[in-house]
Amino acid sequence: MKSNAYSKAGVDITLANQVKDSLPEQLVSTHRKGVLGKVGGFGGLFQLDCSRYRQPVLVSSVDGVGTKLKIAFALNQHNTIGQDLVNHCINDIAVLGAEPLFFLDYLAVGKLKPHVFKQIMNGFVTACRENHCSLIGGETAQMSGFYQKGEYDLSGTIIGVVEKNRILDGRKIRIGDHVIGLASNGLHTNGYSLARHIFFEQMKLKPGSRVKGLSQSVGKELLKVHVSYYPLISALLKKYNVRGKPLKIKGLAHITGGGFIDNIPRILPKDCDALIQRGTWEVPPVFQILQSNGKISDLEMPHVFNMGVGMVMVVSAKEGDGILRSIRSRKQQAWKIGEIAKGHGQTILN
């Protein structure tokens, strides 16, 4: 039965049910061993196979994609936003050595539009499949009058698992260890409030504008999908962090909000600094354009943006060159960008 009164108030239950009709098949396509129950229940069920672990520890994280959504609204392109959210969340637990198990999403809209909903969900499903992570549930809330026309908000929660004695928390980092930077493909999901201000207010550009130095429009450059480093990290940990032997990969930092300055110290011992050497990696043109036109200082840039490094890896100095070669052999651009030195738990850029 169609709820006319509720529909007139801006919440169409019938439409919501219709657009969700294809969800069971999509969600099932992401399922891995351990998922229980049917799609659409009040809660998602997952049975952890504890026989695979001696001391399993669950790892969780929740996040959103920030004002990158504004670019999706402007271009009416929503298929990449779901991938951004899943990949960001997976990176946040991968740095602890965790394997992603399942993901849940929250989508809040003013007025539900079927084509937008389908694009977002396709993004979730694509990223979950690529990372062998099950999409087991979520919530779509119609909130009439709460959001501006054509806008919505997203958040996601990821749950993973790691063996307790294999948790990467940086405690084994020592003076002399190498710092390796894994390339990003752009802004990922951070710094968009400043980037939008520079491109669209200071430079007076439109999402479809072309800028010298960029191979595509500004809007498409800003919608590049946040890279997931989990498949690479998983393979490297299996190769280099062998049970019963000293860790060769000692710490990982996801370079998100706060850039180099705030994120690398999260894994450093209190008596160690990360000395990062500028000029040792390739900075994508988008950051150079932003700095030049926004008149941003050399100190502020790496505090806001990832500067072309989406993940930092601290590794044993003895194994550093070999690990770097292994990373590159897996088609991931990477560089040695610094070393660990005696200090006070800070990032120092030279």
- Assign residue 199 the CATH number of its domain: 3.90.650.10
Most confident of 7-16, 153-162, 242-251: 153-162
Average confidence score pLDDT of the chain:
91
244 vs 140, more confident: 140
Identify whether residues 142 and 205 lie together within a single domain. Answer: no
Q: Has residue 38 been placed in a domain?
A: yes
Enter the pTM of the model.
0.92
Per-residue pLDDT, averaged over 265-289, amounts to 95
Domain count, the chain: 2
Q: Identify whether residues 106 and 216 lie together within a single domain.
A: no
Beta bridge partners of 157: 62, 104
**Is residue 15 pLDDT above 90, yes or no?**
no
Model pLDDT, residue 218: 96
Same domain, 105 and 160: yes
* 249 plus 108 within the same structural domain: no
Are 48 and 196 within 8 A, CB to CB? no
The secondary structure of residue 282, as a DSSP letter, is P
Q: Is it the case that residue 71 has pLDDT exceeding 60?
A: yes
Of the candidates 98, 117, 97, 115, the residue with the CA atom closest to the CA atom of residue 107? 117
Residue 12 has pLDDT above 70, yes or no: no
Range with lowest mean pLDDT among 105-114, 225-234, 294-303:
105-114
Question: What percentage of the chain carries pLDDT values higher than 70?
Answer: 93
Q: Give the whole-angstrom CA distance, residue 119 versus residue 77.
A: 8
126-132: average pLDDT: 95
| Predicted local distance difference test score (pLDDT) of residue 140 | 87
Residue 173 is assigned to a structural domain of this protein? no
d(CA 105, CA 288): 34
CATH code, domain carrying 142? 3.30.1330.10
The reply to whether 123 and 244 lie within a common domain is: no
Specify whether the CB–CB gap between 317 and 179 falls below 8 A: no
Same domain, residue pair 257 and 207: yes
Looking at residue 26, its pLDDT comes to: 74
Considering the domain architecture, whether residues 195 and 278 belong to the same structural domain is answered as: yes
Are 33 and 106 part of one and the same domain? yes
151 with 196, same domain: the answer is no
Residue 294 scores a pLDDT above 70: yes
Residue 48's pLDDT band (cuts 50, 70, 90): very high
What's residue 3's pLDDT?
A: 56
Residue 2 lies in a domain: no
Burial class (CB in 10 A: 0-12, 13-18, 19+), 113: middle
pLDDT value for 242: 86
**Do 246 and 115 share a structural domain?**
no
Looking at residue 30, its pLDDT comes to: 83
Same domain, 344 and 240: yes
Q: Which residue shows structure tokens 């850039």? A: 259
Domain end, chosen from 146, 166, 186, is at: 166
Residue-number span of the structural domain to which 292 is assigned: 178-349
Weakest-pLDDT range from 41-45, 73-77, 126-130, 152-156:
41-45
Residue 93 within a domain: yes
Mean pLDDT of 241-256: 91
Beta-bridged to residue 276, according to DSSP, are 338, 349
In a domain, 141, yes or no: yes
Q: What is the pLDDT of residue 24?
A: 65
Asked if residue 345 belongs to a domain, the reply is yes
Query: Which pLDDT belongs to residue 18?
Result: 57
Q: Rank 56-60, 143-147, 166-170 by mean pLDDT and report only the highest.
A: 56-60
The pLDDT value given to residue 2? 53
Whether residue 115 sits in one domain with residue 41: yes
pLDDT band at 10 (very low <50, low <70, confident <90, very high): low
Within a domain: 16? yes
Q: Rounded CA gap, 146 and 108, in Å?
A: 9
Residue 314: the pLDDT is: 97
Q: 5 or 86: which carries more pLDDT confidence?
A: 86
For residues 6-18, give the mean pLDDT.
Answer: 59
pLDDT at position 83 is: 96
Reported as a pLDDT band with limits 50, 70 and 90, residue 96 is: very high
Phi then psi for residue 157, to 5 deg, are: -125, 130
- Is a pLDDT exceeding 80 seen at residue 25? no
* φ/ψ bin of 295: left (φ > 0), alpha (ψ from -120 to 50), beta (otherwise): left
